[in-house]
């Protein structure tokens, strides 16, 4: 079995599940979610916060290099070190949210992130960057795990579809934040960059104020014999989470190797880098919900990974062929490749939402979201710059074709891994539909 047993006298374990009809109905009521009003609150709160995140994401590297006067290499190294440290808290804070209630833990994390974000204006050297970024990313990683569990409780039976709507909202917020940041970048002064940072810090507080409107969500009862940190012991779930983490490399393809590829190896104009990101954002905003609506079961989630791999097999070679054609044709290949890649991204995101929820026990959603996020951060974010640059930029066209093949094999391999994980799921609690 995926979950080990433990002494029932552990003080950290919640009461056993009441198996009476009344007890099962009470659990099912909790799983059904507090209603659409709460979903709107979380979506609005997320939208405000991601506007600030878009402001910071767009301008941060320029702030570190032009204001703090770090080299691009040292800034990147500092953020990488901080990122590795930052993923360490997700599982622990996720478990705390499962035991105490996700709303209160998320409120505390939003306030903490407001402080850590504002602290970026105080850094003056490499050590300061690593310290502040590590604290900020630690809180951010924990917040992502808790928000995932919160979305599961609020979304009820349609939690995966609700996550798709949240993702579309996130993309829209980041797009608006990017436009705001562009104005500050054009001014290019210390004050302009610091106003972006402090503005982002304020969005965390506004987001927290909005989130206070959510009701308290009682922790779900745990099985009497379950050990703490069950997510770390769940081998089948972790096997799927590792596959998902490797697939998460795809999120960085359009951000890291593609701009370098366009500028240094193709005849496409430099502005086409922005065109690619615009295509990606618009497709995510308008089609993520539609794709996610068709991925609601574990079997559909596994097939979504297969579909994603197929689209990546199309997109990567299209991008790899750009050096062989003139500038106008390279732009067309770029647009086609971005459309195919983003379509694969939609399938991957939808599959990961559904499988991340349905392969995890209901009472430990935030803890499992933290474990899923840990593998995604380690394999799909921390390693992405080195791996993707080596494969796609240094490896040239062969590397782009190999990357497409890798994603296809990974998508196909996810199907038996998912089936294995599904077969080993203990049925602790009833699903909302039962």
Same domain (yes/no): 207, 244 = no
What average pLDDT score do residues 182-187 get? 82
Lowest mean pLDDT among 43-47, 234-238, 272-276, 347-351: 272-276
> Please, which pLDDT band fits residue 23 given cuts at 50, 70 and 90?
very low
State whether 266 and 378 are in the same domain: yes
For residues 350-369, average pLDDT = 89
Which residues in 358-387 are b (16+ Cβ under 10 Å) and which e? bbbbbbbbbbbbbbbbbbbbbbbbbbbbeb
Per the domain annotation, does 8 fall within a domain? no
Which domain CATH number covers 248? 1.20.1250.20
Query: How many structural domains are present in the chain?
Result: 2
Torsion of CA 201, 206, 207, 210, to 10 degrees: 170
Tell me: do 200 and 309 sit in the same domain: no
Residue 34's pLDDT band (cuts 50, 70, 90) = low
Tell me which of 160, 188, 214 is where a domain ends: 214
Position 118 confidence tier, pLDDT thresholds 50, 70, 90: very high
Question: Is pLDDT above 60 for 415?
Answer: yes
My answer on whether 165 and 62 are in the same domain is yes
Q: Which two tokens stand for residue 353?
A: 């939402």
Percent of the chain topping pLDDT 90: 43
Cα distance between the two ends of the chain:
23
Dist CA 286 CA 281 (whole Å): 9
pLDDT reported for residue 12? 29
Mean pLDDT value across the chain: 84
Residue 14 reports pLDDT greater than 50: no
Residue 332 domain-assigned?
Answer: yes
pLDDT tens digits, one per residue of 278-295: 899 889 989 998 998 899
Same domain, 59 and 196: yes
- How distant, in Å, are the alpha carbons of 72, 261, 334 from that of 77? 9, 22, 30
Residue 84 within any structural domain of the chain: yes
Tokens describing residue 376: 């995604």
Residue ranges making up the domain that contains 417 = 232-427
Tally Cβ neighbours within 10 Å of residue 108.
18
208 plus 342 within the same structural domain = no
Domain boundary among 214, 240, 255: 214
pLDDT number for residue 35:
59
Answer whether residue 6 is part of any domain.
no
* Global confidence as pTM: 0.79
Same domain? 206 vs 266? no
């Amino acid at each position: 079995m995926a979950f080990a047993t433990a002494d029932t006298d552990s003080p950290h374990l919640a009461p056993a599940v009441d198996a009476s009809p009344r007890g099962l109905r009470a659990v099912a009521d909790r799983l059904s979610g507090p209603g659409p009003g709460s979903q709107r609150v979380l979506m609005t709160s997320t939208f405000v916060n991601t506007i600030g995140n878009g402001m910071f994401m767009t301008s941060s590297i320029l702030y570190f290099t032009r204001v703090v006067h770090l080299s691009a290499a040292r800034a990147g190294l500092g953020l990488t070190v901080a990122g590795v440290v930052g993923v360490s808290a997700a599982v622990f804070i996720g478990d705390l949210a499962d035991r105490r209630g996700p709303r209160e833990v998320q409120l505390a994390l939003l306030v903490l992130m407001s402080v850590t974000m504002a602290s970026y204006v105080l850094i003056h050297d490499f050590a300061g960057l690593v310290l502040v970024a590590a604290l900020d990313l630690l809180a951010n990683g924990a917040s992502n795990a808790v928000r995932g569990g919160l979305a599961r409780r609020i979304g009820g039976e349609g939690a995966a579809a609700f996550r798709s709507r949240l993702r579309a909202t996130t993309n829209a917020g980041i797009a608006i934040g990017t436009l705001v940041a562009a104005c500050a970048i054009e001014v290019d002064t210390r004050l302009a960059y610091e106003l972006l940072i402090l503005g982002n810090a304020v969005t965390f507080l506004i987001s927290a104020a909005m989130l206070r409107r959510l009701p308290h969500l009682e922790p779900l009862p745990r099985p009497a014999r379950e050990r703490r940190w069950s997510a770390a012991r769940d081998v089948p779930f972790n096997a799927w989470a590792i596959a998902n983490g490797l697939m998460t490399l795809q999120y960085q393809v359009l951000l890291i190797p593609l701009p370098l590829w366009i500028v240094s190896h193709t005849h496409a104009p430099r502005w086409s880098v922005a065109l690619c990101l615009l295509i990606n954002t618009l497709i995510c905003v308008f089609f993520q919900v539609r794709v996610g609506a068709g991925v609601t079961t574990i079997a559909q989630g596994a097939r979504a990974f297969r579909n994603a791999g197929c689209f990546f097999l199309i997109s990567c070679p299209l991008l790899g062929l750009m050096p062989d054609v003139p500038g106008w044709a390279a732009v067309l290949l770029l647009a086609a490749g971005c459309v195919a890649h983003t379509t694969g991204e939609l399938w991957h995101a939808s599959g990961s939402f559904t499988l991340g929820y349905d392969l995890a026990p209901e009472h430990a959603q935030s803890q499992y979201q933290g474990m899923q996020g840990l593998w995604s951060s380690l394999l799909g974010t921390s390693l992405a710059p080195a791996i993707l640059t080596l494969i796609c930029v240094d490896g040239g066209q062969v590397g782009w074709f190999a990357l497409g093949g890798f994603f296809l094999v990974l998508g196909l391999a996810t199907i038996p891994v998912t089936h294995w994980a599904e077969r080993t799921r203990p049925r602790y609690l009833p699903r909302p539909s039962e």
